[in-house]
Chain A
Amino acid sequence: MRIGVVTFPGSLDDADAARAIRLAGGEAVALWHGEADLKVVDAVVLPGGFSYGDYLRCGAISRFAPVMTEVIAAAERGMPVLGICNGFQILCESHLLPGALTRNDHRKFVCRDQRLRIENVRTPWTSSYAENAEVTIVLKNGEGGFVADEPTLARLEGEGRVVARYLDVNPNGSLHDIAGITNERGNVVGLMPHPEHAVEDLTGAGTDGLGFFTGLTALTAASGQGVP
């Protein structure tokens, strides 16, 4: 299982994402924002950070990076794509996911161990979790408030496309306490918390995040071939 991790200028968590992929038994493949080449990967992670300095809007410039043309086309063909934090923002700007991420309602950067409920375990990224599993994963963002219009929210809720929801506190003003969503097909997932920082006991709040990466490798092993 080859999982690409895109590095944009200003990405911060690409090394951690690659490490999480390796810990989960996958092969991490470095992808570069300026090259329209996915290097025959089976899936792609858009990591967290401040790509292009968050200029204009978070993710607005990254969306037009050469590599994103390929990521968008592959995602539309069904390739699994996970966007974490800034990656989630890029997926919304790319229109692969609905809605947008806005500045935290309390105006402060938030960094905390966040409890979440994994509500949709049918995506390739969440298939190793039990339905409604409650996990703790670090969250760190300044612009993590998920917003969408009422019809979009109703569709997301009605179709079970809320992948993860904040428990205990809403850390950033996200509507419906939404921490992560998926597209209609279920192959593209955007997540504001950082599972790649919760994969080893040595650091962080435990290993609850590892499931986001093991699910994919388990799926491939089961089918004996790459995810389409």
Chain B
Amino acid sequence: MARYVVDVMPKREILDPQGKAVLGALPRLGFEGVSDVRQGKRFEIEVDGDADEQRLDEVRRMAETLLANPVIEYYTVTAGEPQDDA
């Protein structure tokens, strides 16, 4: 079993209203000095077989075709164990 993590973030030039909402909430909760928040998505993907270059390419294609919209978002793919809740 191979694991990959795909992080999808709104491009810098795209307004991120969700991030702005979080940014606005933090000072109200007493967190000071926060200058920016961007909100994105994280996908943890498990695939059969071993992690190799071909699998990595496949996950990149998943990101390109479905997980991210390249018009407004960028993505990064990382191979390895996703972080656990613990």
B44 vs chain A, min Cβ distance (A): 15
| Residues of chain B within 8 A of A148, CB atoms compared | 71
The proximity string for A residues 132-147 relative to B, scoring 1 for CB distances below 8 Å and 0 otherwise, is 0000000000000101
Q: Would you call A60 an interface residue if the criterion is a C-beta within 8 Å of the partner chain's C-beta atoms?
A: yes
Q: Tell yes or no: B78 within 8 A of A by CB.
A: no
User: Contact string, A47-61, partner B, CB cutoff 8 A, digits 1/0?
Assistant: 000000000110010
Interface residues of B in 1-46 (CB under 8 A from A): 14-15, 17-18, 20-21
- A148-B69 Cα distance, complex, nearest whole Å: 12
What's the nearest-Cβ distance from chain A to residue B26, in Å?
16
Please determine whether B17 and A100 come into contact, CB atoms closer than 8 angstroms: no
A64 to B66, Cβ gap below 8 A? yes
Q: Contact partner of A100 among B20, B66, B67, B71, CB < 8 A?
A: B71
Indicate whether A103 sits within 8 Å of B71 (C-beta atoms), given known contacts A56-B66, A60-B66. Answer: no
Q: Annotate A93-118 by CB proximity to B: 1 below 8 A, 0 otherwise.
A: 10000111011111100000000000
Chain A nearest Cβ from B62, distance in angstroms: 12
Residues of B within 8 A of A103 (CB): 17-18
Task: Please tell me the size bucket of the interface on B.
Answer: 10 to 19
Residue from A93, A105, A149 in contact with B69 in the complex, judged by beta carbons closer than 8 Å: A93
Say whether B71 contacts A99, CB under 8 Å.
yes
Interface of A (DSSP majority class): loop
- A102 and B66 in contact (CB under 8 A), knowing A107-B20, A147-B71? no
| Interfacial chain B residues near A99, Cβ < 8 Å | 71
Contact of A57 among B14, B20, B69 (CB under 8 A): B69
| CA gap between A145 and B20 in the complex, in Å | 16
Interface centre among A57, A64, A145 (most CB of B within 10 A): A57
A93 contact set on B, CB distance < 8 A:
69
Q: Are A107 and B66 in contact (CB under 8 A)?
A: no
Task: Decide if B14 touches A102 in the complex (CB within 8 Å).
Answer: yes
CB distance from B86 to the nearest CB of A (A): 27
Interface residues of A in 24-74 (CB under 8 A from B): 56-57, 60, 64
**Any A CB within 8 A of the CB of B47:** no
Annotate B47-86 by CB proximity to A: 1 below 8 A, 0 otherwise: 0000000000000000000110101100000000000000
Complex Cα–Cα for A98 and B70 (A)? 11
With CB as the reference atom, state the residue of chain A lying closest to B15. Answer: A105
Interface residues of A (CB under 8 A from B): 56-57, 60, 64, 92-93, 98-100, 102-107, 145, 147-149, 173
Q: List 7 A-B contacts (CB under 8 A).
A: A57-B69, A93-B69, A100-B72, A102-B17, A102-B72, A107-B18, A107-B20
